Amino acid sequence: MCRAAGPDLPSGGAIQRFHLLRGQAFASSTYERFAGGPARERRPDAAPGPGGPGPVEGLSGGAARRDTGRNKPRLGRRRRPGPEPHEYVAGGRAPGVGAQKKSIYAAERDTERVVALRRLFLEAIQPEDVTRFVFVDETSTNLTYCRRYGRAPAGQRLDQAVPLHSGPNVTLLAALTPDGLGALLSVNGAVNGAVNGDVFAAYLDQVLGPTLRPGDVVVLDNLSVHKVDRLDDIVRKYGARLRYLPPYSPDFNPIELAFSKLKTWLRTAKTRTRDLLEEAIRAAAEWVTEQDAKNWFDHCGYHVQ
C-alpha cells in the first residue's frame, strides 16, 4: 500500500539526499560543540596535509579504511585550560613557576633590631676600602665526611661505609681576603680541646697577625670567643683594626662560602685518619682560587672587581 507524499515530505531519491544532509548537519554541530570550532570541509581536490597523502592517494584496501579519520580531532577529549606539565610544582601548581630548594635563614634576622643593625653596618662600610677586609672564622670537620650522593644501577641501593664514631672534631681557623684563603690553623679537639678565647687570641697574634698589613680590617662575627677583651689590642699591634658583622648575618660573611667549597673537597677525599684529614684540609685550601675569593666577596656585597 502506497502512501501519498505531502507537499513538505521528500520522496524517492530525495529522501536519501534529505537524510544525508541531516547526517552532515548533525556531525557539523557535534564537532562545533565538542571541538570548539566550526567544522571545515575538505575539497575533493585539496592537497594532502602535513601528515602525508590522504587515504585514497597513499593507501588502499583495509589500510585506507583504517587510516580514514586518523587525523580528525577526537571528540569529547578537549584539554582543560591550565599549566603545562612542566609547570607543576610540589604542593600546588602555578604557571611559569618551578620547584627549587629553599634558602633557610634565622627568623631573628627579620626583627626590627637586627634589621636596623644590618642597615647601620651597610652604611658604615660605604667609605671603606673593602679590598682590605680580612674575614676570619672557624669551621669543624671530622672523619665521617663523604659524598652523600652517587650513581648506581637502577633498582640497586648505593652504600658508603663511614666510621661509626667520628671522634673529636678538627676545627679549622682561616682568613679570607680577595687574594684567597690563608692563615690556616687546625686545632685537634682530641689534644687541644675546643676553640676558646685563649686559642683564638693566640691564632690572631701568632698566625693571622704576621700576614696583616697596616690599614687592614679584620671582620668577625658575633661568636663569644671573638669578643674577648685583648683581641683589639692584638690586631692594632699589626696596624689593623676590628669590625664586627651584625648578628644573624652569615650572608655578609664570604668565608662561609669558602668553607662550603672546602668541605666539598673533604667529602671527596674521604679521609679516615687525623693526619690525612689535616693534609686534605691544606689541599682543599689550595683548591680555593683568587677568582673564587673575589666572586664570594662580590656575592656578599663587597665589590672588589
**23 within domain boundaries:** no
Write out the chain's pLDDT in tens, 305 residues.
Answer: 544 444 455 555 555 555 555 666 655 665 555 555 555 555 555 555 544 444 444 445 555 555 555 555 555 555 556 555 555 444 555 566 677 777 777 888 889 999 999 999 999 999 999 999 999 999 988 777 666 677 888 888 877 676 665 667 888 999 999 999 999 998 887 556 678 999 999 999 999 999 999 999 999 999 999 999 899 999 999 999 999 999 999 999 999 999 999 888 787 777 777 777 788 888 888 889 999 999 999 999 999 87
Q: Can you give the pLDDT at residue 241?
A: 96
**273 within domain boundaries:** yes
8-state DSSP, 194 = S
* Selection from 250, 9, 258 nearest residue 108 by Cα: 250
Q: Can you give the pLDDT at residue 153?
A: 84
* Selection from 285, 300, 250, 20 nearest residue 141 by Cα: 285
Query: Which residue has cell 677525599?
Result: 269
Q: Can you give the pLDDT at residue 170?
A: 83
Angstrom distances, CA of residue 261 to CA of 56, 79, 178, 286: 67, 47, 16, 11
Q: Can you give the pLDDT at residue 55?
A: 45
**262 within domain boundaries:** yes
The CATH number covering residue 224 comes to 3.30.420.10
* Selection from 184, 103, 178 nearest residue 139 by Cα: 184
Buried-exposed string 57-80: b where 16+ CB fall within 10 A, e elsewhere = eebeeeeeeebeeeeeeeeeeeee
Grid coordinates representing 108 are: 631573628
φ, ψ (nearest 5 deg) of residue 56: -80, -45
Q: Can you give the pLDDT at residue 34?
A: 53
**158 within domain boundaries:** no
**122 within domain boundaries:** no
**291 within domain boundaries:** yes
Residue partners of 185: CB distance under 8 A and separation at least 6 = 172, 173, 174, 203, 207
CA 246/CA 118 separation, integer angstroms: 6
Looking at the chain, the number of H-run helices and the number of E-run strands are 10, 7
The answer to whether 210 and 237 are in contact (CB under 8 A) is no
Question: Which residues on neighbouring strands pair with residue 170, listed in sequence order?
Answer: 141, 188
Q: What is the pTM of this model?
A: 0.63
Range of the domain at 182: 129-147+167-299
Residue partners of 297: CB distance under 8 A and separation at least 6 = 130, 133, 178, 254, 303, 304, 305
CA 61/CA 65 separation, integer angstroms: 7
Grid coordinates representing 82 are: 591550565
φ, ψ (nearest 5 deg) of residue 186: -100, 130
* 3-class DSSP assignment, residue 20: helix
- Tally the domains of the chain: 1
The answer to whether 136 and 223 are in contact (CB under 8 A) is no
**253 within domain boundaries:** yes
- Give kind and range of the element (H or E) at residue 191: helix 189-192
* 3-class DSSP assignment, residue 190: helix
Q: Can you give the pLDDT at residue 109?
A: 80
**80 within domain boundaries:** no
